């Protein structure tokens, strides 16, 4: 039997989870090489040209950038397809993944350095919280849950969107008391569906356990400011 594709990273990363979810949706076993929750101290990440996780190793191939990795898995393991349908349907799936990256996760990650900044710059924070909310509105307009975000079966759009929605409060809880996933006509019922979807349930449980473990280390370090 061919060796499994190795996936490096942490289940606290929405990009790592995108690749993991694609493998789960395809029924492909991966060898998960889970590093520390603090990506900076992951001894493996220096092997990736950008110094980031996730990356995969498949024989001689080392591949990074989650979107490219999931397209590789799609080519390598074509059935079941996570880009089903005609050209328009495939484009819609890719569009949602792109919206997640550029208009949801980008403003979320711009806020990370502000979490424990001594001077928080209220205008910057307000502008980026507004950008996150705008990203959620765009996604709400783009999805058509039935019950997966674009139809009856999961696509690469679900693999990007579901982990990103799970991840949102990990960062946004520092900037907003609200659960930003609530209140959308399409996105909220989708989140309620996907967070208990059997195919991803064990992964979500592992992600949440990792979040709780990491949070305990933050409480030890920062107390009430965790």
Ligand X SMILES: N[C@@H](CCC(=O)N[C@@H](CS)C(=O)NCC(=O)O)C(=O)O
Q: Does position 13 bind ligand X by CB under 6 A? A: yes
Closest distance of CB 68 from ligand X, Å: 8
Strand 61-64 and strand 30-34: the pairing is unpaired
Using the contact rule CB under 6 A, the part of the chain among 20-28, 62-70, 185-193, 214-222 near ligand X is 62-70
Q: Which candidate, 115, 128, 74, 80, places its Cα nearest to that of 97?
A: 74
Sorted by sequence, the CB contacts under 8 Å of residue 5 that are 6+ apart come out as 23, 28, 30, 31, 56, 57, 58, 73, 76
Q: Does position 15 bind ligand X by CB under 6 A? A: yes
Q: How many residues does the chain have?
A: 226
Closest distance of CB 14 from ligand X, Å: 7
Closest distance of CB 189 from ligand X, Å: 27
Report d(CA 160, CA 97) in Å as an integer. Answer: 5
Q: Does position 65 bind ligand X by CB under 6 A? A: yes
Using the contact rule CB under 6 A, the part of the chain among 63-71, 156-164, 182-190, 214-222 near ligand X is 63-71
Report the site for ligand X in 36-55 (rule: CB under 6 A).
39, 51-54
Q: Does position 80 bind ligand X by CB under 6 A? A: no
Q: Are 161 and 139 in contact (CB under 8 A)?
A: yes
Q: Which of 47, 52 has the CB closer to ligand X?
A: 52
Report d(CA 87, CA 177) in Å as an integer. Answer: 41
Q: Does position 226 bind ligand X by CB under 6 A? A: no
Where on the chain is the footprint of ligand X (CB under 6 A)?
13, 15, 39, 51-54, 65-67
């Amino acid at each position: 039997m061919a060796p499994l594709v190795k996936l490096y990273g942490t289940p606290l990363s929405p990009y790592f989870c995108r690749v993991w979810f694609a493998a789960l949706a395809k029924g492909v076993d991966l060898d998960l090489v889970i590093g520390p929750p603090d990506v900076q101290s992951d001894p493996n990440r220096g092997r990736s040209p950008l110094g980031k996780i996730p990356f995969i190793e498949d024989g001689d191939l080392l591949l990074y950038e989650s979107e490219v990795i999931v397209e590789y898995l799609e080519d390598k393991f074509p059935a079941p397809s996570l880009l089903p349908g005609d050209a328009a349907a495939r484009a819609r799936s890719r569009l949602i993944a792109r919206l997640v990256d550029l208009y949801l996760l980008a403003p979320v990650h711009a806020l990370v350095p502000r979490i424990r900044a001594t001077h928080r710059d209220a205008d910057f924070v307000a502008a980026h919280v507004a950008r996150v909310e705008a990203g959620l509105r765009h996604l709400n307009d783009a999805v058509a849950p039935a019950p997966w975000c674009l139809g009856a079966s999961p696509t690469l759009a679900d693999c990007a969107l579901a982990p990103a929605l799970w991840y949102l409060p990990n960062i946004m809880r520092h900037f907003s008391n609200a659960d930003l996933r609530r209140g959308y006509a399409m996105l909220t019922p989708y989140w309620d569906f996907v967070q208990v979807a059997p195919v991803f349930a064990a992964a979500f449980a592992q992600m949440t356990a990792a979040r709780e473990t990491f949070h305990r280390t933050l409480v030890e370090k920062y107390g009430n400011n965790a």
